[in-house]
Amino acid sequence: MGGAKVLAWVTRAAVVAAALTVVAVAWFIGCSGERPITVGSKNFTEQVILGEIVAQHLEQRLRHKVVRKLYLGGTLLAHQALVNGDIDLYPEYSGTALTAVLKLLPSSDPATVFTTVKAEYQARFHLQWLDPLGFNNTFAMVIRGDDARRSRIETLSEAAKHASGWRLGVGYEFQQRPDGLEGLLKAYGLPLNGSAKTMDLGLLYKALNQKQVDMVAANATDGQLSVWDVTVLRDDKRYFPPYQAALVVRAETLKAHPLLRQTLNELAGRFSDETMRRLNYQVDGEHRSLREVAQSFLNNSKLVP
């Protein structure tokens, strides 16, 4: 065989060998289910904490490679990333899914909302909602603790009897949402002292503390609620819809990783409202690292083998 022919034969053999290697690797990855699992989150503290906890839990339990795509943006961006397959799962809230994604009317019954959302996501998007994580990040109307004690106000119905009215502080979104300000005022006949003041969510508690406002529309799992002297007024008419947190996962990802559902459901019921408030404050108030807070939660929950 001439030198040129030998060289050509060797070149062809090398190409064939390389091609077989690629096929073998692809086959191995497909059979072993070792494709990385991509965990996403929206772009606020609670979401990225949950995303990091989920990522660490999967790494420790399944020994799979996990890719983090946290801080994706708002609800619709995160949802679209999941539908497109850019991520495999992320935490969502039942009330948000019902109104913002599915465009259905709000409901005050937690079981009905969750059942509806679970069925509709499966039918429309082939996405599966897993068992609730255990907390409900609904809206929370908050007043100063000393005002609540002095006036003996514990519920929104009692706040509606406050003759002088309330100087109310709200976030921009709360003023626009169908389950926000307008509906709240109608449901309770809540008297206001002037128009509601809109501001960034991060300024609400500061404005309340400095007595620029007397009541704020906050969230039930805000970290400040675990350390500040404030009172969350009970929504005794159940105006606000439930916002149960749960993980939403692509159906094909669950199929590709047989142990994934069981592993993720180990986190179900592990988060109370107070637990989530504490975790949020550890990041926002104490400025602890995301990785440290997540690792500490998993260790304390005895989920780390």
Ordered by where they begin, the domains of the chain are 33-136+243-300 (3.40.190.10), 139-233 (3.40.190.120)
**What percentage of the chain reaches a pLDDT higher than 70?**
88
The mean of the pLDDT values for the chain is 89
Per DSSP, what are the bridge partners of residue 14?
A: none
- pLDDT tens track for 98-157: 988 999 988 989 999 999 999 999 999 999 999 999 999 999 999 999 999 999 999 999
Rounded Cα distance, 85 and 175, in Å:
33
Instruction: Identify the helix (H) or strand (E) that includes residue 181.
Output: helix 181-188
Rounded Cα distance, 132 and 249, in Å:
13
Indicate if the pLDDT at residue 20 is higher than 60. no
- pLDDT tens track for 24-81: 334 334 434 478 999 999 999 999 999 999 999 999 999 989 999 999 988 999 999 9
Indicate if the pLDDT at residue 286 is higher than 80. yes
Rounded Cα distance, 142 and 215, in Å:
5
Rounded Cα distance, 25 and 205, in Å:
55
Secondary structure of residue 38 in the 3-state scheme: strand
Rounded Cα distance, 61 and 298, in Å:
11
Query: Mean pLDDT across the stretch 10-37?
Result: 48
Can you state the percent helix, strand and coil of the chain, rounding each to 5? Answer: 50, 15, 35
Q: For 134, which DSSP code?
A: S
**How many C-beta atoms lie closer than 10 Å to residue 54's C-beta?**
25
Given a contact cutoff of 8 angstroms between Cβ atoms, the answer to whether 138 and 243 are in contact is: yes
For residue 147, which of 79, 208, 91, 84 has the smallest C-alpha distance?
A: 208
Query: Mean pLDDT across the stretch 256-261?
Result: 96
Rounded Cα distance, 202 and 272, in Å:
22
Dihedral of alpha carbons 219, 221, 226, 227, sign? negative
Predicted local distance difference test score (pLDDT) of residue 50: 98
What's this model's pTM, rounded to 2 decimal places? 0.80
Q: Is 218 exposed, middle or buried (0-12, 13-18, 19+ CB in 10 A)?
A: buried
Predicted local distance difference test score (pLDDT) of residue 84: 98
Where does the pLDDT of residue 23 fall: very low under 50, low under 70, confident under 90, or very high at 90 and above?
A: very low
Secondary structure of residue 172 in the 3-state scheme: helix
Where does the pLDDT of residue 305 fall: very low under 50, low under 70, confident under 90, or very high at 90 and above?
A: low
Given a contact cutoff of 8 angstroms between Cβ atoms, the answer to whether 49 and 39 are in contact is: no
Where does the pLDDT of residue 304 fall: very low under 50, low under 70, confident under 90, or very high at 90 and above?
A: low
